[in-house]
Structure 1
């Protein structure tokens, strides 16, 4: 009989693509929670210091207050360095959190990555 595998929390995958004109697309998928927020922060904040960053959140199934904090930090970092921070394709779960916290009024949100890049 096989031993049962211990439960592992869902992870967060972060992929980064560099484009023309100092534009970076960071695609995240999984759960953006306290355990995973450091992984996103370490990739997202440095990128915001160098131009336009688009965060593709289509694959994010959960976002807690730690995730929200990183989004606010990214917006402030981009604004402070003369860049732009944009969210693309937020999942329904993320969209609800952005709406409930009124961050949909503060952050630039686009239906897809192309729209965010071509603004």
Structure 2
């Protein structure tokens, strides 16, 4: 799996595909944990479907990156995606930001 990325200093922004599902979960987790940087922002604005397998992959990747001194944060303005994060309580495990820039700035502090 190859996803579009942007680099902001020590932070990498990963733009997710249209579907985050069990079918792509292993590839997503491998992609997130094999980046050149351990401070990762996942931009969920491109995802129309988010299933439990995709969310599990993000949490597994976060665990790996935390062990490396990094973290994963989420950026999305999509209300449906924000609702999914709230209903699954993942918004309590992952910091969620309105914009990519706000998420990038959060790593500086």
Question: TM-score when scaled to structure 1?
Answer: 0.78
Q: Are positions 1:19 and 2:8 aligned together?
A: yes
1:53-68 matched pairs, under 5 angstroms: 53-68=40-55
* Unpaired runs of at least 5, structure 2: none
Could you say which structure has the higher helix fraction?
2
* Unpaired runs of at least 5, structure 1: 1-11
Q: Is the 8 A contact 1:13 1:28 kept in 2?
A: no
Question: TM-score when scaled to structure 2?
Answer: 0.84
1:1-119 matched pairs, under 5 angstroms: 14-20=3-9, 22-47=10-35, 50-89=37-76, 91-119=78-106
Q: Count residues in correspondence.
A: 106
Shift of 1:41: 1.8
Q: Is the 8 A contact 1:50 1:81 kept in 2?
A: no
Moved more, 88-97 or 100-109: 88-97
Could you say which structure has the higher strand fraction?
1
Which structure has more RCO (C-alpha within 8 Å, separation ≥ 6)?
2
Question: Secondary structure at the residue paired with 1:29?
Answer: coil
Q: Of the two, which has the highest radius of gyration? A: 1
Deviations 1:60-108 (A, max 9, x none): 1111110110111122122111112110115233222211111111111
Structure 2 CA distance, aligned partners of 1:118 and 1:99?
22
